[in-house]
Each structure stands twice: as structure tokens, then as C-alpha cells.
């Protein structure tokens, strides 16, 4: 008899893994019509544990990655999903059981100490002809954009083999990809690496610097002129770990430190601003302004008062869900001509949420339109998640929202322009929606002209897609 999955909220309902890989070439459009101008593929990544945990501990972030792909062309859609075949996946598949833990600080089974840990479960990005599955502790894993077959780790022709954030930034003007890696000099080190890859995939810059302390640095921000490295007090402390404490923990005494440098400058020039303890998993966008003889960096971010899903430094319990406290969209302004190391904050809306996105043709430049997932209804059942899409006009502050209905939950929204020359925000939101009554997921398309009118198309998938993290649209593919 196989070991059952334990009673853990991140292994139940639509957080539970799916065990089947599927290829469905002709999906049913059950509502509306797929826009003819919508041609491409939505890739989606998330944790999908292939075997039950070793013990009773399990963290949502540590399940093996599975990619889901919905291809749209000529008003039709197809679906395919596959696990990412990392070294971890291959070793466990061969053994027929779990070898590496899904709890932070747990040891692997005896004999598996040298199996490389890589879940590749957080994001999936298309760049320079490669589909890259990402977590934040390893090199990316290259996959075939059509078949989803795994090619293997990608180390930029051997020029960089360290960790890579799951949130690289693509410059829409130059085609460059910027990324960083934390703990770049080894476990629990404060060292951060910073890399730039050109539009053809060649590594053209690689630097290293020390952050104020070692922490979990999930994301960062790039403007057309500056790079912003946010360090929040989700600390990784060797002394605490050696005493049996949590690997990653909330330690507000460390404070928030935001490092900013010019893109063409040395990492030695990073200027550190200091703020109250908080945590940001995901920024929306940032840009640089030159007004009144002053240079400012403005960043719109989704801010929590503490890091969700991780315990306090003394080991006391963590919030159980991302939705226990919804982050708020706030605007930080950094005056680079000021002698102060502080920055200002403005709350942009009173409806919290997560997974902020925007029209990424404006990445690093001022944008007007933003999108995110929110929870409007109280947690109505175990496994409840985000239930509303939000479109916010950052200029007027007005919002438009779409709720799919009771028992239906949304994933991260992804913006797709109606055409390459369309005005900012003129296009579609594409995403996934899980229906508890049918125990199945749908691919949905909303017109950004007014998302409150509901889907212009809903396509039934052959299976459910577990709640996960991030995805991206590959245009025309």
C-alpha cells in the first residue's frame, strides 16, 4: 500500500497534486468565442508533489514543478502538461518514492544526500528561443516550448551556474533579460549575484555583492535606468538554524533595506534605503523620473506587513495562507538626490490581493493599468483561494472587477495586447479558473476594455490545474 498524503491544507482541494500528464489537442469552447487575434501559448508553473512528504511536514513551495500549456490559434485551443524533469524528479521517478523532503530543514532519505534539489516550480519564461522553468535556488531548466520535453539545466553556455530568481525582468526595448540570485556564495550567505543576458541569450554581465543580511529575496525590479534590490526580514540565520530554529523566518528587527543602482553602474555604487519591516513577494512595475531637477525611482509593489507562510524567528506559528493577510498595492518613491535613506509610501487601493501584472510592453516605464487577483468572499471552504480579478487604473484609482461565482477560484492574470501596436492596456487577460463543483479548471479570456462583463471565452480543460504560482504568454507560438 502506498503512503497517503497527510492532512495538510496545501495538499488538499485544488492545492492537491495531479498525477497524470495529458495531451488534449482539441478543447471545447463552452462559452463565447476565442478572439481570432489571440494567438500564442499560456504557460503555467506550480508545485505538484510527485510523492507524499517524507514526514508530516510539507511546505507549498517545495513540491516538484509541473508545466501546463494552453495553446490558442484560429479560435481553437489545445492543452498539454508535463512535470519538469529535474535531477530531483528523475532520481525519485527511478526510485518510485520520495527521496528529498518537502519541508524546510528536513533531511533526505539515506543514500539521497547527493541528489541535487531542484523543484523548478515557480515560473516559466520564454527568452531567446528557450522555455525556462525556474525556481529561485537553481539554474533554470530548459524545455521545448511545444512538446514540454525537458532539455536540462541551462547555465548560459557554462558562464553562470548559480541560483537564478524565478522573476527575471525582460526589457521591452533592448530585449535583455536581467536576473539575480540570492545566497549566491552558498547556503545562508548574504551574497547576491546580478546578471544581464542579451536578446540572443548570451550572458553579457555578471556581478556579485553583499546584501545587509541573508534573506529570502523572491523578486526585484528593473526600470529603464535603475535596478532595485529589495531585502526584507525573512531572514536566513546560520546560528538560528544550527540551534534547530526555522531556516527562513520573520525577524522584523532586521528592517527592510532597498538597494538601488544605475543599470550602467558598478554594484559598488548600490545605495541602500531603509524602511519599516514588511514583505513584498511581487512588485507590479517601477520607473525612473526626472522632474524639477531631481531623479526619483517610483515602484508599485504588493506589500504585506510580514512574510506569509513562514514562522517567526522564535519558531512560533506562521500564517497558514497567503490570504490570511492580503497584501496592499502601495507606491514607494525614492528620491535619489536626497541625503535621506528613507522613502515615502502611498496606498493605491484598499482592496488587497496578489499576483500583480501589467502590460509588460511598459516594463521599466510608467504604466497606467494594473491587474491582480483578490479575495472578495470570506474563506468559504477549505482550499478557498483568490476569487476575483481586479483591473486598476493607476491614474484615476478606479477599479473594475470580475468574480466567477461561488466555489470558483482564479489564478494569476496575464495580460496579452490585442496587437503589438495597441495602446497600453488594450487587450486581454488570460488565466485559469478552478470550479469546485465540476472539479475541473477552465481557461478564460477577459477583454480589458471591461473585465466586469465576464469572459469573452471560456474553454474547458480536461483536468484541473492545481493552484500554483506564475505563468507567461508566448505570443504567436
Residue ranges and CATH numbers for the domains of the chain are 13-475 (2.120.10.30)
Residues 6+ apart with CB under 8 A from 426: 417, 418, 448, 449
Indicate whether 381 pLDDT > 90: no
| Residue 58 main-chain phi, psi, to 5 deg | -160, 130
* pLDDT tens sequence across 265-298: 999 999 999 999 999 999 999 999 999 999 999 9
Provide the 10 A C-beta neighbour count for residue 114.
Answer: 8
Look-up: residue for cell 529589495?
230
Q: How far apart are CA 3 and CA 52, in angstroms?
A: 7
Q: Is the pLDDT of residue 4 over 90?
A: no
Percent of the chain with pLDDT over 70: 98
Express as a percent the part of the chain with pLDDT over 90: 92
pLDDT at 322: 61
Determine the pLDDT at residue 7.
Answer: 87
Model confidence at 380, pLDDT cuts 50, 70, 90, reads low
Please name the residues in contact with 38: beta carbons below 8 A apart, sequence gap of 6 or more.
Answer: 72, 416, 428, 430, 445
Question: Which residues make Cβ contacts (< 8 Å) with residue 216, sequence separation at least 6?
Answer: 182, 232, 234, 236, 248, 307, 310
Q: In what order do the strands lie in the sheet with 177-182?
A: 169-170, 177-182, 191-197, 203-210
Phi/psi for 160 (5° steps) reads: -150, 120
Strands 203-210 and 471-475: unpaired
Residue 195 pLDDT exceeds 80: yes
Please provide the average confidence, as pLDDT, over all residues in the chain: 95
Stated as kind and residue range, the H or E segment containing 290 is strand 283-291
Please tell me the least confidently modeled range out of 7-11, 388-392, 431-435, 469-473.
7-11
The predicted structure's pLDDT at residue 50: 96
CB 229 within 8 A of CB 214: no
Find the mean pLDDT for residues 392-420.
97
Least confident span in 32-46, 79-93, 311-325, 356-370? 311-325
Question: Residue 248 in contact with residue 216, Cβ under 8 Å?
Answer: yes
Mean pLDDT of 250-267: 97
Strand partners, 291: 294
Predicted local distance difference test score (pLDDT) of residue 199 = 97
For residues 120-149, give the mean pLDDT.
97
**H or E, element range at 239:** helix 238-242
What is the predicted pLDDT for the residue at 326? Answer: 87
Q: Which parts are annotated binding residues?
A: 167, 218, 282, 470
List the grid coordinates of 55: 514526514
| Inter-CA distances, 474 with 77, 146, 177, 414, Å | 14, 11, 15, 11
| Residues 6+ away with beta carbon under 8 Å from 372 | 284, 302, 329, 353, 354, 355, 356, 357, 389, 390, 392, 413
Is 35 in contact with 446 (CB distance < 8 Å)? no
Q: How confident is the model over 188-204, as a mean pLDDT?
A: 98
Enclosing H/E stretch for 90 = helix 87-95
In sequence order, the β-bridge partners of residue 388 are 374
pLDDT value of position 319: 67
Tell me what pLDDT residue 457 has. Answer: 98
pLDDT digits 0-9 by tens, 40-63: 999 999 999 999 999 888 999 999
Residues annotated within the binding site for Fe cation are 167, 218, 282, 470
Pairwise pLDDT comparison (400 vs 4), residue with the higher score: 400
Sign of CA dihedral 315, 320, 325, 330: positive
Phi, psi of 194 (to 5 degrees): -135, 125
Q: Does the pLDDT of residue 157 top 70, yes or no?
A: yes
Beta bridge partner(s), residue 181: 193
- Residue 383's Cβ-side half-sphere holds a number of Cα atoms within 13 Å equal to 19
pLDDT value for 1 = 43
Q: What is the predicted pLDDT for the residue at 321?
A: 65
Flag whether pLDDT at 320 surpasses 90.
no
| pLDDT at 6 (0 to 100) | 87
User: CA angle at residue 171 from 168 to 174, to 5 degrees?
Assistant: 135
CA–CA distance, 285 with 363 (Å, rounded to integer): 6
Torsions phi, psi for 18 (to 5 deg): -105, 145
Q: What is the pLDDT of residue 224?
A: 97
pTM over 0.85: yes
Residue range 444-469: average pLDDT? 98
For residues 185 and 207, the answer to whether their CB atoms sit within 8 Å is: no
Amino acid at each position: 500500500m502506498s503512503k497517503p498524503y497527510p492532512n495538510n491544507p496545501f495538499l488538499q482541494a485544488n492545492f492537491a497534486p495531479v498525477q497524470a500528464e495529458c495531451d488534449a489537442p482539441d478543447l471545447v469552447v463552452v462559452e463565447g468565442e476565442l478572439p481570432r487575434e489571440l494567438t500564442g501559448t499560456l504557460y503555467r508553473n506550480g508545485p505538484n508533489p510527485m510523492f507524499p512528504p517524507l514526514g508530516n511536514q510539507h511546505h507549498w513551495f517545495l513540491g516538484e514543478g509541473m508545466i501546463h500549456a494552453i495553446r490558442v490559434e484560429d479560435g481553437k485551443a489545445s492543452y498539454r502538461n508535463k512535470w519538469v524533469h529535474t535531477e530531483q524528479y528523475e532520481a525519485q521517478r527511478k526510485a518510485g518514492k520520495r527521496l528529498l523532503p518537502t519541508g524546510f530543514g528536513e533531511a533526505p532519505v539515506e543514500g539521497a544526500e547527493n541528489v541535487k534539489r531542484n523543484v523548478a516550480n515557480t515560473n516559466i519564461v520564454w527568452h531567446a528561443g528557450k522555455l525556462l522553468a525556474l525556481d529561485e535556488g537553481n539554474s533554470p531548466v530548459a524545455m521545448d516550448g511545444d512538446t514540454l520535453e525537458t532539455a536540462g539545466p541551462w547555465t548560459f553556455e557554462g558562464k553562470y551556474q548559480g541560483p537564478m530568481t524565478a522573476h527575471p525582468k525582460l526589457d521591452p526595448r533592448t530585449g535583455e533579460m536581467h536576473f539575480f540570485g540570492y545566497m549566491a556564495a552558498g547556503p545562508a550567505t548574504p551574497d547576491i549575484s546580478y546578471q544581464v543576458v542579451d536578446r540572443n541569450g548570451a550572458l553579457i554581465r555578471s556581478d556579485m555583492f553583499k546584501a545587509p543580511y541573508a534573506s529570502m529575496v523572491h523578486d526585484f525590479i528593473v526600470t529603464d535606468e535603475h535596478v532595485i534590490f529589495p531585502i526584507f526580514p525573512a531572514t536566513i540565520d546560520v546560528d538560528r538554524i544550527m540551534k534547530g530554529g526555522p531556516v527562513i523566518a520573520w525577524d522584523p528587527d532586521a528592517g527592510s533595506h532597498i538597494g538601488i543602482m544605475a543599470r550602467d553602474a558598478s554594484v559598488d555604487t548600490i545605495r541602500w534605503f531603509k524602511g519599516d519591516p514588511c514583505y513584498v513577494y511581487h512588485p507590479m512595475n517601477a520607473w525612473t523620473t526626472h522632474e524639477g531637477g531631481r531623479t526619483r525611482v517610483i515602484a508599485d509593489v504588493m506589500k504585506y506587513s510580514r512574510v506569509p507562510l513562514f514562522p517567526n524567528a522564535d519558531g512560533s506559528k506562521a500564517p497558514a495562507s497567503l490570504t490570511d493577510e492580503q497584501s496592499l498595492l502601495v507606491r514607494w518613491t525614492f528620491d535619489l538626490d536626497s541625503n535621506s535613506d528613507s522613502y515615502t509610501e502611498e496606498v493605491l487601493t484598499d482592496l488587497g490581493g496578489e499576483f500583480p501584472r501589467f502590460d509588460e510592453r511598459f516594463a521599466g516605464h510608467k504604466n497606467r493599468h494594473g491587474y491582480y487577483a483578490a479575495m472578495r468572499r470570506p474563506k468559504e471552504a477549505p482550499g478557498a483561494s483568490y476569487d476575483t480579478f481586479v483591473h486598476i487604473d493607476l491614474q484615476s484609482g478606479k477599479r473594475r472587477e470580475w468574480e466567477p461565482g461561488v466555489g470558483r477560484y482564479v489564478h494569476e492574470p496575464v495580460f496579452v495586447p490585442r496587437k503589438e501596436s495597441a495602446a497600453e492596456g488594450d487587450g486581454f487577460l488570460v488565466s485559469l479558473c478552478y470550479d469546485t463543483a465540476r472539479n475541473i479548471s477552465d481557461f478564460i479570456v477577459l477583454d480589458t476594455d471591461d473585465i466586469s462583463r465576464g469572459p469573452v471565452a471560456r474553454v474547458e480543460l480536461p483536468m484541473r490545474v492545481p493552484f500554483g504560482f506564475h505563468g507567461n504568454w508566448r505570443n504567436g507560438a
